[in-house]
Amino acid sequence: MTHRQEKRYFQLILLCFLLVGLVVGLSAQGLTGQISGSLVDASGAAVANAKIEITNQETAQVREVVSDDQGNFVVTQLLPGTYKVSISASGFKRFERVGIPVTANERVPLSKISLEVGDVSQTVTITAEQTFVKTESAERAGLIDEQQIQSIALKGRDYMGLVKLLPGVVDTSNREAPGWNNLGGISINGSRPGTINLTLDGVSSLDTGSQLGPYLAPGLDAIGEVKVLLTNYQAEYGRSSGGTINVVIKNGTRDFHGGGFYFKRHEQFNANEFFNNLRNIPKQRYRFNYWGGTIGGPVIIPGTNFNKNRDKLFFFWSQEYLPRLYPTRQGTITYPTALERAGNFSQSLDTNGRLIPVRDPLKTGACTLTDTTACFPGNIIPANRIDPNGQKLLGIFPQPNISAASVNYNYNNVFQSQVDQPRREEILRMDWNISQKTTFYARGIQNYEAFKGDFNFVLASNVWPQFPIKYQIDSRGVVSTLIHSFKPTLTNEFTFGINRALQTVNPLNQEGIDRNDRVKIGLTLPQFFPGANPLRLVPNATFGGIPNATQLNIEQRFPFFGTNNIWNWSDNLSWVKGSHNVKTGFYFEYTTRNAARAAAFNGTFSFDRNVNNPLDTNHPFANALIGVVNSYTEANNKLDGHARYRNFEWFVQDNWKVARRFSIDAGVRFYYIEPTYSEGDPLVYFDRTLYDATKQPALMTPFCLTANPCSGNNRVARNPLTGATAPSVKIGTFADGSGTPFQGMRQVSERVFNTPSIQAAPRLGFAYDVFGDGKTSIRGGIGVFYDRFNDDQVLQQREQPPNVITRTANFTTIRDLLATPLSTSPAGVNSVLPDFDPTAVYNFSLGVQRDIGFNTVLDVAYTGSLARHLLQRLSLNAVPYGTQFLASSVDPTTGQPIADLNFLRPLRGYGDIQLIETGGNSNYHGMQVQLNRRMSSRVSYGVSYTWSKSMNLVNGNNEAINPFIDRKVRNYGRGNFDRTHNFIVNYVYRLPSLSKYWDNGVSRQIFGGWELSGVTSFVSGAPSGVGYALVTARNLVGGGGAGVDSRVVMVANPVLARDQRGNSCAHAFAATSTALANTPVRAVGCHLNVNAFLAPTTAGDNGRGNAPKDVFRLPGTNNWDISLFKTFNLSKDGNFRLQYRLEMYNAFNHTQFTGVDTTARFDANNNQVNALFGSYTAAANARRIVMGLKLNF
């Protein structure tokens, strides 16, 4: 063990114990449950004043209460675990029920317990049933227990993959491994991503920048249970509106338990992917080696009497490690050749094998293959014309590694990117039974994961491995909970927790640093704002005009960092008074998140070919080599954000047992939701009340030096106030001295949103035990839930003008760059309404539960959820449909509609202005059916079926609605997480041993210990729209802006009948397109009726089209994951066991198409000419096999 590892482990242990002294303000949302019951004698009369002992069978913690006058009892604030209930009453036999599972947030009703007359020294012991009908609570919730966690195989061992087993849950993630952001892809009852609260032992564990997932992701073997609160849960729970997922870490017990595991994934186990087979591509590298172990038990100090009864102090430890090395992509690219870097372009050919003539910008005349008057002689640039900075920029790139001629000059380099992605985790939990009345536990966790290599994220080029990086996430969390019973009817639970994360990006090696450091490679490139680039990073650069051109691309947030610290405090007090179980408490969350923001701080060169650039050489590498610049942009600043917020919530609720068979849950939760602010930072947003059109700068207009229309150098930009002209590239930029750019932007200190008033969220539910036997219940409820939006909605206002302004130089050279006049163009900005309504969700349910025997409970319910005040965008500066086609919108220099929409916007001087508003809504309605059987007689299973419809305006916070068409008509439709049918079965079957027919040690080892498990799912496909493009690039819309869309015209049913889908789409429209009929196409099937669509060319329609946003559904999935386990007993008592696991995902290797080409392409006659339109383009993973070993004791 290294010194660094020893230090980390010591810190983790120390933090856990320090928390004992920190529990002065207290946090989180409670994870405890309760047990209740009713005592009667043989005649049905209540038994009062009976003594009830509730014992945690794992830790020996005991709680005592006394039954009331009606014989009822309730024991609250019980930590998750397995309990024994012992009842003693004068004149009756002692009653014991053992093996009662209590999970997080669960109310376990024991219903009527009939005591037998007899001596108290006699004991009646009953083993508890594993399934309970909920007769005393109204909430809809789901549980993934430890047995399911251990027996249901998950390819990536990501516990989030189990949540989809519950009704109402949709999960679209592939889940190759646990880790950061693993909440992404999950929707609960139609909830929008980012609205689900994820807690780890009750403490919120979200990346508050996106709210799409946690930094801390414990491994499967460390988890005791996963509890999901789905709908109309009690007032005790809040923070988010889209459901709550509670993850509970295991605790130590009176006996030592633990084990180790190793899981291996390798491409040699897998079937090749469908489209790889189609294209004759071999299987890609796929290698995961996942190992770890756990141990837990009592804390014993040898040679002392400390904890000798094993009922005071317990520990649990878990560690996991997952090294991964896998390819991300194979890339093809065009680098400058050695000859080109030296100025020799005599071998530089286009894709037709023809020389690309290189023009000398100092000459006049033509430079073509037939007229080389203005070309460099021999296509060779003299050494004295080479710009040293341009040459050094080209020198950054690797050399070609293949002959360009062999691939028709489309590229000259092939590279394979790969990522080393290690992950490590340690968890320590300590439980302390301080006394019979007081229990305490503390838990620490630390996660480390990294992405090393050519990972396309911060700093990494998306074209070639320019800058290998190490993107690292270090996260740690601690929580402590103290439960104290002041008296049997009064119990308090308080918790304090902190989750902290640090994201950093650093170069992976010195070579990457040196290659991107201006000074180290000898670059003396100037910058207008050098203070924004203190690390002296090379500029970004593009080389458009040749196939697969390379580029320089450093991500605009580098050096990236992100810190996210969440402090939680809460306190919950339970008071049982007669038939009332009253609970009250508060929840406080304080979050800090610092993060780098984006800006073009290092400058961006465009060396692209541009016939309008009088200095252009006709080759981008030649442009760079002699220092010809098409454009150069640079930001004046690079800023960080410092997000802060406080949530304070408090509640009161009453579980009132109105009668023996009828209970009411009533409560209210109050929310004080402080919007995110950026501490110490100026923020900027557009405020229409400050906008004055008379003070906005004028735009440089198109002008002909000769008569209209004109082209070439005769078309210039003109200052409408002074008449001064400039090259045409300046058209649409601000005219010098004509006004104040970006007036109308309001600058505020720290805060752009005002804190809304305190929100009250009532919750009401009921549970009715129909027959009084605890076997059938009718339950229903309704609740209001509030939410907050993610931090990035505020931090975006850090990088708006005038905080950050990007300026541009055009048609210049590297040598003359600093002397080139800079231009500024209208920018797109955000606007906000400081006063806003927080997101509110109203959900409700009505259902029936029935114990149908065989340890099986059937649950059928209607569930609804109405979300209001969802975040969305609305353009304030969009150009209406058809505006460009008006006579007043014609560019006199071309005789065509003016191309730059900024001339036509209602608020001149700006690009698009997007209002961040809370005007969105969504609706979800569903029938949810669940059938659950806990392990009994070797079999357990769960069946979940949801028939639902989820509708919304937009799917995410940053999506815009159409500003000109009624949003209810244009935007309202099925959400992208809507699945009409969602049927999932999970099962575990412990096969009977054949050794009973031949009973000896050998046969028991061979034929015993086999277990079959799996998950089978049949799920509808996702909704999808259909887009289009025109061969002629004709403008049909005549306007634009966020949300201003153009859709196809539907003239028939868009989806083919099933018996027609096996054909290629090409045949479907061959009759209308002769050219297409002869197009070689290798399509695998056609999903869409390609003749059902036309381009929206109707006069006056301006491209609106008539298609809804959800034209059709993608294919559904039909998937079988099957696992076979074999357990070998390594000891006679069975306490040491070795388990071999064979896990097959998509076991039957059934091809499940997941993508369809949805872009129609129309020619001038409105014929569809995309040969792949409507064809399948993607498929779910082919069969993958995981092999594993687990040692348990």
Q: Order of strands, edge to edge, in the sheet holding 94-102?
A: 62-66, 51-56, 81-88, 94-102, 123-127
Beta bridge partners of 848: 778, 860
DSSP labels, 327-377:
EEEEEEEBPPPHHHHTTB-TT-B-TTS-B---B-TTS-S--SSS--TTBPG
Are the CB atoms for 202 and 236 separated by under 8 Å? Answer: no
Rg (CA), the chain: 34
Q: For 623, which DSSP code?
A: H
Using alpha carbons, select from 128, 148, 132 the residue that is nearest to residue 941.
148
User: What's the pLDDT at 541?
Assistant: 96
The 10 Å Cβ neighbour count of residue 819 is 10
Residue 5 φ/ψ, nearest 5 degrees? -65, -45
The pLDDT, as a whole number, for residue 329 is 66
Q: How far is Cα 851 from Cα 486, in angstroms, rounded to an integer? A: 37
| 349 burial via Cβ count (<10 Å: 0-12, 13-18, 19+) | middle
b/e string for 422-443 if b means 16 or more Cβ within 10 A? ebbbbbbbbbbbeeebebbbbb
- Residue 30's pLDDT is 61
Nearest CA to 202 out of 239, 150, 253 is that of 239
Residue 1066's pLDDT is 61
- Tell me how far apart the alpha carbons of residues 1111 and 742 are, in angstroms, rounded to a whole number: 40
Task: Please name each of the domains of the chain with its CATH number.
Answer: 33-127 (2.60.40.1120), 697-739 (no CATH), 1015-1192 (no CATH)
Q: Supply the pTM of this predicted model.
A: 0.89
- Beta carbons of 230 and 1166 less than 8 angstroms apart: no
Burial 212-240 (b: 16+ CB within 10 A, else e): bbbbbbbbbbbbbbbbbbbbbbbbbbbbb
Return averaged pLDDT per consecutive 10 residues of the chain, 1193 residues in all: 44 42 41 88 88 91 90 90 91 88 86 83 73 88 90 93 95 90 90 90 87 88 94 92 92 94 96 90 89 96 90 96 80 94 97 96 95 97 97 95 93 85 95 94 94 64 74 93 93 94 86 87 92 92 96 87 92 93 95 92 96 95 98 94 96 94 96 96 97 94 94 92 93 93 94 96 96 94 94 94 94 95 95 95 97 93 97 97 95 94 96 96 97 88 97 95 96 96 96 72 75 96 96 93 96 87 62 44 75 90 93 95 94 89 96 94 93 91 96 94
Contacts of residue 614, defined as CB under 8 A and 6 or more positions apart, other chains included, come to 361, 713, 727, 811
